[in-house]
Amino acid sequence: MGRYALLVGCCYLGDRDELQGCYNDVDAMQGAVIKYQLCQMIKRAMAGDVVLFYFSGHGTHQDFWEGPYCKRLEAIVPSDFNLIYSADFRYMVNNMPQGADFVMIADSCNSGGLIDQSKEQVGPGFRPDVCYRTRSYNYGNIGGGRRAKRMPIESVLRHLRPLSHVDSSDIRTLLRDIYGNQASILFRRHVDPDARVDRGILISGCQSNETAVDDDGKHRRPYGLFTDELCSTLRNLRRPMMSNAELVETIRDNLRNKDQHPCLYCSDRHADAPFLWVR
């Protein structure tokens, strides 16, 4: 079995939604999963491999209305603003080689449910696919040297409009025009939602309706609160490794920001399996 990692941090330097700690989060994760021989850097996955994708940066969500019905989809915000939606991660999981597992760790707002159709194992029972018109969220500076890791769709549109040849406020139209076949699978083809044989594991920094926090560090480097607690937990682990469920429950109990609740989404088998299959 090979274990491979791709670690991504986006700080959006120079933007009014700039974050401070995401690059430091990647350094911390590299120390936690590579220095301690949990993972190597990523390669092409093969049967039996475990692939870890870690993201620290802004998250967002969007409501897609079709008549009276609404589907809410979470997304991460890359530095080029070509949003990667929960449907894209479901597509990745469904196309993993037989016997390979995809582990996603997301330190971003609205990160619960980022692998569409995944079963919630640790969390509040909140339904990420339901649209709540009255829900309010924190943006930007939330006080005490902390910033919310959430970028509103309006800010994404502000970045996309100058890049497009189309005068539109519809994000689907803009992303298709700018990125073509590199835009979300959501806008290009039907996505098979079948998750019966689910090889995806999502550890989210917060629930679908919550804010993840980027801290300025005060007396040390800026960092994400969830990533900091995750790395602290991993550093203090002794073999045998915790199960995925035990790891997330431990982080939930110890996280200093009590308004942020990490979650686990995966199959029953993966909930009881050791983190990254390390025994």
Segment 244-258 shows an average pLDDT of: 91
Whether 219 sits among the annotated catalytic residues: the reply is: no
Q: Report which of 25, 9, 16 is spatially closest to residue 215, judged by C-alpha positions.
A: 25
Q: Say which of 109, 206, 231, 266 is annotated catalytic.
A: 109
- Strands lying side by side in the sheet with 59-66: 59-66, 69-76, 84-85
Q: Say which of 10, 22, 58, 270 is annotated catalytic.
A: 58
Q: Give the separation between CA 73 and CA 177, rounded to whole angstroms.
A: 21
DSSP code for 243: B
Domains and CATH numbers, the chain: 3-272 (3.40.50.1460)
Residue 272 three-state SS? helix
Q: What is the pLDDT of residues 94-131, one digit of tens each?
A: 888 888 999 999 999 999 989 988 889 998 864 444 44
Answer whether residue 263 shows pLDDT above 80: yes
- 60-69, 222-231, 262-271: the lowest-pLDDT one: 60-69
Whether 109 sits among the annotated catalytic residues: the reply is: yes
Q: What is the pLDDT of residues 70-86, one digit of tens each?
A: 778 899 999 999 999 99
Q: What is the pLDDT of residues 10-41, one digit of tens each?
A: 999 999 999 999 999 999 999 888 755 556 55
Write the CA distances from 27 to 76, 96, 121, integer angstroms.
19, 27, 28
Beta bridge partners of 74: 61
pTM of the model: 0.89
